[in-house]
Structure 1
Amino acid sequence: MTPVQMHPRPASANPIHRTVAEVMDAAGPQVCDDMSVEVALSVMAAARTGRLVVCDQDGQCTGLVTQAELTAVRDGSAYTDRVRLRDILGDRWTFTSPVTTAAEAERTMRYLRLGALPVVDEQGSALGILALSR
């Protein structure tokens, strides 16, 4: 029989105590909120991603848009090439902090029916994206 040395697991290994910073994905492409829907869709295609972090002129995160959202806007009867990302986001700025527990962030996302949530620092800069596993 071979002896096995046991090491205590760090507290962060417990899923209940893990923070958003430990489980978030990289922020990916970040675009300015004055970008048009068509250009944003092109950026997504080139980056092979289904979502973009949207920032204002000061580099502060203002939200997240998905390919499905942008496609629905583009295919809508009210669409013009003057529609900008800021027009789509409106006032639905929902974010999370990197020190929030992953469990708490997941509850919030499920309650608000969000598939992904930007993770921002104290200055409002995007650090990453927290996405629900399906």
Structure 2
Amino acid sequence: MSARPAHGTAADAMDAAGPRVWEDMTVEVALSLMAAARTDHLMVCDEDGLGTGLVTRAGLTAARDGSGYTDRIRLRDIAGGIGPFPRR
């Protein structure tokens, strides 16, 4: 039997979120970090280090493939690109 709560905690969600990145990171750097970390998602934090949501490889790839994309686009610039934390 496991001693872990069945519903998980906020700490569990943060641990499962993968590497932490900040909202001012560029999409290209975030995709490179995902590749290096072998993960499909990153936890995005604000300037105070508080988690604001998750970005996925699919979401960043879609943003990069969009017609208005430049290499200066940052995570905070992606409209709707940062999703909420998953519910457990």
TM-score, normalised to structure 2, is 0.77
- Maintained 8 Å contact 1:34/1:84: yes
CA distance in 1, matches of 2:69, 2:35: 20
- Maintained 8 Å contact 1:63/1:89: no
Matched positions, count: 85
1:1-134 matches, cutoff 5 A = 18-21=6-9, 26-88=16-78, 90=80, 94-95=84-85, 117=86, 130=88
Structure 1 moving runs of 4+ over 2 Å:
23-27, 89-95
Residues 69-106 of structure 1 show CA distances to partners (whole Å, capped at 9, x for unaligned) of: 101110111101121101125596634xxxxxxxxxxx
- The gaps in structure 2 that reach 5 residues or longer are none
- Maintained 8 Å contact 2:26/2:72: yes
- The gaps in structure 1 that reach 5 residues or longer are 1-8, 96-116, 120-129
Aligned CA RMSD, in angstroms, stands at: 2.9
Structure with the higher strand share, 1 or 2: 1
TM-score, normalised to structure 1, is 0.53
Q: 1:26 deviation in Å?
A: 2.6
Larger-Rg structure: 1
Q: Helix, strand or coil: the match of 2:49? A: coil
Could you say if the C-alpha distance between residues 78 and 89 of structure 1 is closer, same or farther in structure 2, counting changes exceeding 3 Å?
Answer: closer
Amino acid at match of 1:75: D
